[in-house]
Amino acid sequence: VAIVVAGWLGMTPPGFAAVTVALVFGIAASSLFPAIMMDIFSKKMNKEGAMAGMIAGLVFTLFYVFAHKGIFFIKGTEYLGLIGGANSFFGITPEAIGAVGAMVNFAVAFLVDKVTAEPPAHIQAMVEAVRIPRGSKAVTGSH
């Protein structure tokens, strides 16, 4: 089955390889990157904030991409009239909208994090412990 699907996609690609890769990276950037960054650099980021941000960034990005490229890239299912025409959001193409989706993700995650409970103390301690490799000396800030 996978060989047939891969063959079909090879014969009827959704776009040039570079366009497809740009769309995939944009979708990943809008959904995964902000959550990973906030979880690494903030002990206070909770699961509700991270999940809400990921969903918001992904939905925003997919809505814009599907408006231009068609729902699940099926030709004829585009809905550009619903968003005001091609590249209507400050002239941004669907291949680049992932950066805006990442900002939506950051904003929603931050806001939801502020109105929900902090992670438990043991989770915050685990995040802090992950930052210092085992066997290394603690960083004291002095030379």
Predicted confidence at residue 134, as pLDDT, reads: 73
Average pLDDT, the chain: 84
pLDDT in tens, 36-84: 998 888 888 999 999 999 999 999 999 998 888 888 777 788 888 777 7
Residue from 28, 29, 47 nearest 39 by CA = 47
Query: Is the pLDDT reported for residue 11 higher than 80?
Result: no
Query: Is the pLDDT reported for residue 25 higher than 80?
Result: yes
Residue ranges per structural domain of the chain: 16-130
Name the H helices within the chain.
2-11, 17-31, 33-41, 47-69, 80-83, 97-115, 121-130
Query: Is the pLDDT reported for residue 141 higher than 80?
Result: no
Report which of residues 73 and 110 the model is more confident about: 110
Predicted confidence at residue 139, as pLDDT, reads: 61
Kindly report the pTM of this predicted structure.
0.75
Query: Can you read off the two tokens belonging to residue 38?
Result: 């906030």
